[in-house]
Amino acid sequence: MNKKITYAFVQKPEANKKGLYPIYLRAFQSGKKIEIATSITLTNRDWSAIRQRVKKSNKLHERHNAILDAYDKKVLKLLINNFVHDETPLTLRQFKDKILSTHQTDGSFTDYILNYLNENKARLRIESWWSYKSQITKLLKFKKEILFTDLTEQFINDYHLYMLTTLGNNENTASKSLRSLRTFVNISLRYGYMKNNPFKFITIKKVDGKRDFLSLEELNKLSEAYFSGKVTKSIEKEILQYFLFSCYTGLRYSDLKTLQAGSIDGNKIKINMHKTGYLVVIPLTQKAIQLLPQKIPFGTEPVFRIYCNKVTNRILKKIGQTYGIPKKLTCHVARHTFATASITLGIPIEVVSKLLGHTSLKTTQVYAKIVDNVKEREMEKWDRL
């Protein structure tokens, strides 16, 4: 079988958000192919498919063609060295990794990351993929074009300040964005697009955010409204149903969406947590059992009809206002409610941690602190007697 690697520069048929078409290095071996994104994006009329170079009509043609020439030299050097010195031919994956690890550090940082995300979409959880894409959009609000050379410690500090002041983000939101940016930087470092790590001397803060949860009285109020038939609109009843089910089981919104009939085994739920992949077994209380549909479907059929996050939160907000609950109700409030209620009822924190599917007890201990704070606040009422 022929193990020879051949390659060509091609213009992708799909345009980016700016209406430009990315240039890729496409390599072939034994009927398979692999693609490497360059930093070059063009209009259709600026690319010569025959010459595999940028036409002079593009004002940056000299710079772009210099990048392609550099790729040519690196590829030829790599293939010749492999042929002369190595007995085992390169695989396409090795070829790509070696080319990227020696690539120059000029070009667009954000274009490279967007191309990387598109290439690796199948390997990422869809929520993570969309989150990373939104972080790039947010980053481009700060600076319209970001080159690899722009990524300095000062740039990161300025971006942090911009999020806190101009965008009005809280520290946790800003820190989440910085962690995403650090992930992008690490990818660039791994493949040789950057040589120095701008995050080397930067500590990303993690502040315990406010966790809203229902008190036992508020949970009982909503539960009573559901079971007594006070909630009559079908969409409100459906959403309150799976919100309360989450309150009694601790399931995340993503786990509610993927909860299948086959996951219910008698009076237990056996489910691989969507976020961590951990298998968690949750015994069902009587209230949770009553919240299951009367006719549970079979096999891979979803247990609940789950509306999108936006609709779910809008309806939950309306329900909260109707029943005088002064909190922003979301599915994560339901998970927080399960955690704090469980600890309040005396369930050992180690058990609560297992039921929530936490990978670390430290994560669960946050809820213990919340419960302690509530106790202290409530005890202060004695001083007002």
Residue 129: give its domain's CATH number: 1.10.150.130
Amino acid at 257: K
- Same domain, yes or no: 221 and 260: yes
pTM greater than 0.95 (yes/no): no
The average pLDDT across 362-375 equals: 75
In the predicted structure, residue 20 carries a pLDDT above the cut 70: yes
Domain count, the chain: 3
**Length of the chain in terms of residues written:** 385
In the predicted structure, residue 1 carries a pLDDT above the cut 50: no
- Same domain, yes or no: 269 and 347: yes
The average pLDDT across 316-324 equals: 94
**Does residue 342 lie within any of the structural domains?**
yes
- Same domain, yes or no: 35 and 147: no
- Same domain, yes or no: 150 and 292: no
Per-residue pLDDT tens for 159-200? 999 999 999 998 989 999 999 999 999 988 877 778 899 999
The average pLDDT across 74-97 equals: 81
CB atoms within 10 A of CB 281: 12
- Same domain, yes or no: 250 and 337: yes
In the predicted structure, residue 2 carries a pLDDT above the cut 90: no
> Which alpha helices (DSSP H) does the chain contain, by range?
61-85, 92-101, 109-119, 126-142, 153-165, 171-190, 216-227, 234-249, 253-258, 286-291, 309-322, 331-344, 349-356, 361-379
Q: From CA 303, how far away is CA 259, in angstroms rounded? A: 6
33-47, 203-217, 314-328: least confidently modelled range: 203-217
The average pLDDT across 290-315 equals: 87
Which is more confident, 382 or 284? 284
Expressed as residue numbers, the domain containing 61 is 6-104
How high is the mean pLDDT of the chain? 88
- Same domain, yes or no: 261 and 380: yes
4-8, 127-131, 142-146: least confidently modelled range: 127-131
- Same domain, yes or no: 259 and 376: yes
The dihedral over CA atoms of 160, 165, 166, 167, expressed in degrees to the nearest 10, equals 70
198-202, 292-296, 327-331: least confidently modelled range: 292-296
Which is more confident, 278 or 26? 26
Which is more confident, 112 or 228? 228
Per-residue pLDDT tens for 95-132? 887 787 644 555 789 988 988 888 788 878 888 898 99
The average pLDDT across 337-362 equals: 89
- Same domain, yes or no: 258 and 365: yes
* 50-54, 128-132, 329-333, 370-374: range with highest mean pLDDT: 50-54
pLDDT at 248: 96
Point out the domain boundary residue: 70, 104, 138: 104
- Same domain, yes or no: 178 and 91: no
pLDDT at 90: 80
pLDDT at 106: 56
- Same domain, yes or no: 270 and 339: yes
pLDDT at 115: 83
- Same domain, yes or no: 28 and 128: no
Per-residue pLDDT tens for 46-75? 999 999 999 999 999 999 999 999 899 989
